[in-house]
């Protein structure tokens, strides 16, 4: 019997090849390796994590997704969240989002925001499922001129028990 373990953990430089593969498969305007290295090693407000699947019996580990969010004082912004296209719809994105929300709550972050392409209905539905609400359209936000939907989650709406 296979023993599977899914972990959300801080990213390391060893994760960059998998992160770049997922990035290039997922985003219209993907970040470059230097952008991720900056997030990992230089950006003081970055929280860069991966979600990893481990098959214990075989000693195999595989990064299946990643997230990067910036925290500044009592607010945070999701810069990137992605799951490998072949592994989407298996709750891995939700597991990462739950970790982000719990981490923000533990750090007394009050609001979590993000921008998403107005054409990305799948992502918008995902964010709404996690309690985000639409705030405003940012016209011509992306390189190709597409508008962004600015969304917000009030962390105070989530009761998180850290006493255990």
pLDDT band per the 50, 70, 90 thresholds, residue 57: low
For residue 163, pLDDT beyond 60: no
Q: Which residues of 40-60 are buried (b: 16+ CB within 10 A; e: fewer)?
A: beeeeebbbbbbbbeeeeeee
Structural domains of the chain sorted by starting position, each given as residue range(s) with its CATH number in brackets:
4-157 (3.40.630.30)
**Separation CA 108–CA 105 (nearest Å):** 5
For residue 148, pLDDT beyond 60: yes
pLDDT digits (tens, 9 = 90+) for 6-55: 889 999 999 999 999 999 999 888 999 999 999 999 999 999 999 998 77
């Amino acid at each position: 019997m296979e023993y599977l373990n899914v972990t959300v953990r801080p990213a390391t430089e060893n994760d960059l090849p998998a992160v770049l593969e997922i990035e290039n498969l997922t985003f219209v305007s993907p970040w470059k390796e230097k952008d991720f290295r900056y997030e990992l090693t230089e950006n003081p407000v970055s929280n860069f994590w991966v979600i990893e699947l481990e098959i214990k019996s075989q000693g195999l580990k595989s990064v299946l997704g990643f997230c990067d969010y910036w925290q500044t004082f009592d607010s945070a912004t999701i810069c990137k969240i992605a799951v490998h296209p072949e592994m989407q719809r298996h709750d891995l994105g939700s597991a990462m989002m739950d970790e982000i929300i719990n981490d923000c709550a533990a750090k007394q972050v009050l609001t979590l925001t993000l921008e998403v392409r107005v054409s990305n209905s799948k992502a918008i539905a995902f964010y709404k499922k996690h309690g985000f609400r639409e705030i405003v359209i940012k016209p011509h936000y992306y390189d190709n001129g597409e508008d962004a939907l600015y969304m917000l989650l009030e962390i105070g709406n989530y009761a998180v028990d850290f006493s255990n």
